[in-house]
Amino acid sequence: MRPASPSPGPTRADRMARLSIVAVGKIKERGIREAIDDYIGRVTRHFPVEEIEVRDAPPAELAPVLEKKLPSPAHVVALDVEGKAMSSVAFARWLDARMTQGKGRVVFLIGGAEGLPPSMRSRADEKLSLSAMTLPHRLARLFLAEQLYRAVTILRGEPYAR
């Protein structure tokens, strides 16, 4: 049996959701920054998205900085190569469920060159994988921004605009 397709139109998440991306490092490449801004701009037509950047540091120094930047209350998701992988449709459904149940805010954590500090990985409510391959933080952020936009189009039953 095939799962029911998402219904078109406004979702429950449109009324209550907030997304945050807490990322280690600053995006310096203009083209990547423009692409991230484009996708996030498309998502913010439906609900707020906040990007928080922190300077890379050794794990022991980075963990408290990241912890301070986490909005509360929030469902914290560590992006990690060992996390759960899913299709875009499954991610859209997962995101809708997380944004409409409980805390109403989802925070994605993206590590730096050494990944996320172990304490932040274990502190997260969930771990998701964007790929079985390790991605540089700037590409992980771009990939996440695009998947957030794709999730919005899936949930709203809208065509994906390039």
Determine which helix (DSSP H) or strand (DSSP E) holds 109, and give its type and residue range.
strand 105-110
- Residue 14's pLDDT is 45
Q: What is the distance between the alpha carbons of residues 61 and 20, in angstroms, rounded to a whole number?
A: 21
Q: Mind listing the pLDDT tens digit for each residue in 93-126? A: 999 999 887 677 999 999 998 899 999 999 999 9
Q: Mind listing the pLDDT tens digit for each residue in 47-95? A: 899 999 999 999 999 999 999 999 888 999 999 999 999 999 999 999 9
Phi-psi region of 27 (alpha: psi -120 to 50; beta: other; left: phi over 0): beta
Average pLDDT, the chain: 88
Residue 7 predicted with pLDDT over 60? no
- Residue 154's pLDDT is 96
Query: Hey, where are the domains in the chain?
Result: 12-156
Tokens describing residue 151? 């999730």
Q: Which residue has the higher pLDDT, 106 or 7?
A: 106
pLDDT band per the 50, 70, 90 thresholds, residue 27: very high
User: 12-156: what CATH class?
Assistant: alpha beta
